[in-house]
Structure 1
Amino acid sequence: MNIIIVGDGKVGYALAEQLTKENHSITVIDKNELALRKADETLDVMCIKGNGARASVLIEAGIEEADLVIAVTSRDEMNMLTCLTAKKLSKSIQTIARIRDPEYYEEYAALQEQMGIDMVINPEFAAAQEIANILQFPSAMNIELFFDGKERLIDFRIQEGDMLAGAKLSKLSGKLPKNILFVAVERDGIAYIPNGDFEFQVYDKVYVMGRITGITDLFKLLGRYIQRVNTVLIVGGGRTSYYLTKIIAKLGMSVKIIEINQKKCIELSETIEEAIIIEGDGTDQEILDSENIEEVDAFIAMTGRDEENLITAMYGIEKGVDKVITMATRIRIPDIMNRVGLDSIIEPKMITTSNIIGYVRGIQNSRGSFVEALYKIVDGKAEVISFIANQSARLLNIPIKNLPLKKEIIIACIQHRSTVTIPHGNEKIAAGDKVLIVTKRSDVIKDLNDILL
């Protein structure tokens, strides 16, 4: 596909990097010459300096032959105008806009219709949703919901003394809760798709698919089940904090937000009635102690600086908070955070990139099985892809145990009408079913037929 990316910041660069790996033709537009130089020197992309909302610049970028425009500049208005201009120049073009401001995002459905935006992406809202999911099941490091929340993908780290440590997966089948499936493992930065002979080790990061009841039973079996979260302390009063408070307040959680900027505090107090707003430096241990950090159920570090989040979150762990979550915006920071014991790490850039890549694969494969959603796991080394099977799929009505699956691919879940199943061999996939697959293959999976030999 021919894709134009307007905005060469962190998200724009990450998108260009991933989409070029998937053999798309990419043109990047930005007014920042330094950012363009980095993309030009490190990626196989065409770079144009200019205002991506201007018709002349889009024409220079090849809008007539383009299939998709992705507007991810730092300004919502610029992104919306870029998509509107693109639609005026090409009737067949698809558009994606990053819209972050709550005033715009809360009316995004109307904006989509009025401005012809095909997909709206909001990194802060997506991050808030992910954090809210974790807070509803704090035993897990991270959690993703599938099939309207009927199935969940969680990850956790194996500890010394766990029944999993040193055990082969095939030897555990009778000891573990039913209707859960081990779909991936990360060990020393390497992703594995486990089979029956796979032997778990201490410090492995394990990804498990299952219903909430089965996953709860697993954590109780491991002695690591954490009761629900009632009180939340947040450091940083940005957009993610706003969206998160709106979500979790409806779930009955009590929220405090510490923000150092007085103007932001006033704005938050006027827009968030559900939280207590405290003006102060949330990285100051005395302020955290004065707010009784050791008594809260969950502590979330979401300042604008990764280093401050890291230090603040470490203090939360030191004070014995059951659930500590932190945000990371740079590539290498999550590795550092993991090494110091921080496991629940939210990466808005990774969430945004995954959502857009899933959309791109969906429109690219319009005749095959539709890509409904895509998630990156194991630090981007593996993917979870949700397909809707259609008549073109060669695996219909064949028992899964008889399918010639490629290596390093697992069928993790099937939804047939309203019934969701973790497959164990005899299940069959029918047209219209939703199928969840997990893969660590280097080749791109765009269609259900791509998982077969």
Structure 2
Amino acid sequence: MDIIICGAGEVGRHAAEVLVARDNSITIIDTDRARLAQVGDTLDVRTLAGDCSQARVLLEAGAASADLVLATTSKDDVNLITASVAKGLGTRKAIARVHQSDYFEGRDFNYEKHFSIDRLICPEYSTAVAIGQTLRNPGALAIENFARGQIEMQQIPVSREADALGIPLAQLRLPKGTRLAAVVRKQGAFVPAADTVVEPGDSVVLVGDPAHFPVARRMFHDDKFGRRRVVIMGGPPMAVWLCRALKNRNISIRLFETNRQRAQELARELDWVTVLQADPTDRTVFEDERIGDADAFVALAHDEENILGCLLAKSAGVRQAVAVVEQSKYLHVLKRLGIDKPFSPRAVAVREIERAIDERPLTQLASLAEGEVDVYRVRIKAASEVVGLPLREVKLSPNWMLAAIQRNGAIHVPGAQDVIQVGDTLLVVGRHGKEEALRKVLDLR
């Protein structure tokens, strides 16, 4: 592929490293000639000095015939303009990185559609979603990048006194927006049918939207633990997204922010969170606020502060410490230091880019139940014979089930009446080794 990367910062450089290794032709644009020289010395790429938001510069880089333009500078407005202009010049696909929630969430205005950009990515948001899933349930399955936090999937052990025991699935009143995707039994894993009855000792793979998922989970697993306590250090936008992801999850949150004005803003916006203007790495604050009693400590400030905060938390007995680091040089040492889970927005951004340019109709996202069950992302093209069919007429059973549909940026758990449309992306769960059968059923050419 002919790819143009606009911005030679952390994300741009890392994206170039990954994409060059896959035999793509890369051109990098940046206004900083010294930065370009450094990239050119270490990677087999073409470099171009200039303002990437200008049509003249993009044309010189080859945007008129490029397969992909990645706008990854540190400025949202530049990225939006760059991606939009590239599309206007003829680029086949354009992706823009943004930081501000207004651009990414599109509550009042669809920037992606307005600027004719194929995809907006926000690494900070995706990182917050991933952290939230880790804190809510360490066993949560890694589909957050498919679902952007709109769908949860977990493999849950069935409790001995679970309400769902002994009831056929057809009679089990699961909340709307949730589905039982698979049952894992000693004899093996399988996709449940209408007459399937969950037994003691089973595990189930449950899929659902965040609002109804906890209710469905309690039907299979009686959580005996009490309210979890989470401490967050730092108040960037990522902290807001993380607090939203943890809301109504039987989790108490204390957020520490040293800047007075920002702390006041967060207190107004997050009325379910206890916001304190203080530095939790200060020994007196740490002891007075009994931070060592927390179940989890999440550091979202600057790299060195995050590492220090997590080390302090772990030394005080906090069970789970999560650090976000921007600089890749820290990632390989954090585990050795005892920090449980490092997250890198830069690495998240590159994974999102890789998924965005992956045009295969069928991609495996995860493997469950010791490899007996697979989770796939399926893209539906116009040529597929299932387009226009309601799900009840698509012969997925007994090997597969449709867990979720992504359409126009929104994701939902479907019912039997839902109709598959051109451009849909499906989340399909089913038995391992049946990939070719799935291709035939969904007519993936």
TM superposition score normalised by structure 2: 0.67
Count of residues in correspondence between the two structures: 339
- Residue of structure 1 in register with 2:418 after alignment: none
Q: Is the 8 A contact 1:236 1:301 kept in 2?
A: yes
Which one-letter code corresponds to 1:334 in the other structure? L
- Residue of structure 2 in register with 1:73 after alignment: 73
Check 1:390–1:433 CA distance in 2 against 1; reply closer, same or farther (3 A cut): farther
SS in 1 for 2:26: strand
Q: 1:226 offset after TM fit, Å?
A: 9.8
Q: 1:373 offset after TM fit, Å?
A: 6.1
- Residue of structure 1 in register with 2:310 after alignment: 313
Which one-letter code corresponds to 2:438 in the other structure? A
Query: Which runs of structure 2 are paired with 1:280-359 in the superposition (5 Å)?
Result: 280-305=278-303, 307-359=304-356
* Distance in 1 of aligned mates of 2:264 and 2:189: 48
Q: 1:150 offset after TM fit, Å?
A: 3.5
SS in 2 for 1:277: strand
SS in 2 for 1:74: coil
- Asked whether 1:211 is paired with 2:205, we answer yes
Task: Show CA shifts across 1:357-410 (max 9, x none).
Answer: 121122xx4xxx3448699xxxxxxxx99443889xxxxxxxxxxxxxxxxxxx
Check 1:318–1:274 CA distance in 2 against 1; reply closer, same or farther (3 A cut): same
Match of 2:378 among 388, 391, 403: 388
Check 1:112–1:373 CA distance in 2 against 1; reply closer, same or farther (3 A cut): farther
- Residue of structure 2 in register with 1:430 after alignment: 438
* Distance in 1 of aligned mates of 2:338 and 2:119: 36
SS in 2 for 1:40: helix
Check 1:341–1:52 CA distance in 2 against 1; reply closer, same or farther (3 A cut): same
Query: Which runs of structure 2 are paired with 1:193-272 in the superposition (5 Å)?
Result: 211=205, 227=225, 230-272=228-270
Which one-letter code corresponds to 2:103 in the other structure? Y
Q: 1:115 offset after TM fit, Å?
A: 0.6
Q: 1:9 offset after TM fit, Å?
A: 0.8
SS in 1 for 2:36: helix
Check 1:125–1:261 CA distance in 2 against 1; reply closer, same or farther (3 A cut): same
SS in 2 for 1:41: helix
Higher relative contact order (CA 8 A, sep 6+): 2
- Residue of structure 1 in register with 2:152 after alignment: 149
- Residue of structure 1 in register with 2:393 after alignment: none
* Distance in 1 of aligned mates of 2:299 and 2:321: 8
Q: Is the 8 A contact 2:30 2:48 kept in 1?
A: yes
Which one-letter code corresponds to 1:357 in the other structure? E
Q: 1:5 offset after TM fit, Å?
A: 0.8
Q: 1:151 offset after TM fit, Å?
A: 5.2
Check 1:17–1:228 CA distance in 2 against 1; reply closer, same or farther (3 A cut): farther
TM superposition score normalised by structure 1: 0.66
Q: Which runs of 5+ in 1 are unaligned?
A: 154-173, 181-208, 214-224, 376-383, 392-413, 435-447
SS in 1 for 2:322: strand
SS in 1 for 2:63: coil
Query: Which runs of structure 2 are paired with 1:159-174 in the superposition (5 Å)?
Result: none
* Distance in 1 of aligned mates of 2:320 and 2:24: 40
Q: Is the 8 A contact 2:125 2:238 kept in 1?
A: yes
Check 1:340–1:422 CA distance in 2 against 1; reply closer, same or farther (3 A cut): farther
Q: 1:280 offset after TM fit, Å?
A: 1.9
Q: Which runs of 5+ in 2 are unaligned?
A: 157-183, 191-202, 208-222, 368-373, 382-398, 404-426
- Calculate percent identity across the aligned residue pairs: 27
SS in 1 for 2:110: helix
Task: Show CA shifts across 1:58-79 (max 9, x none).
Answer: 1111111211111111111111
- Residue of structure 1 in register with 2:15 after alignment: 15
SS in 2 for 1:431: helix
Q: Is the 8 A contact 2:143 2:365 kept in 1?
A: no
- Residue of structure 2 in register with 1:95 after alignment: 94
SS in 1 for 2:328: coil
- Residue of structure 2 in register with 1:130 after alignment: 130
SS in 2 for 1:51: coil
- Residue of structure 1 in register with 2:103 after alignment: 104
- Asked whether 1:56 is paired with 2:56, we answer yes
* Distance in 1 of aligned mates of 2:117 and 2:70: 10
* Distance in 1 of aligned mates of 2:61 and 2:23: 18
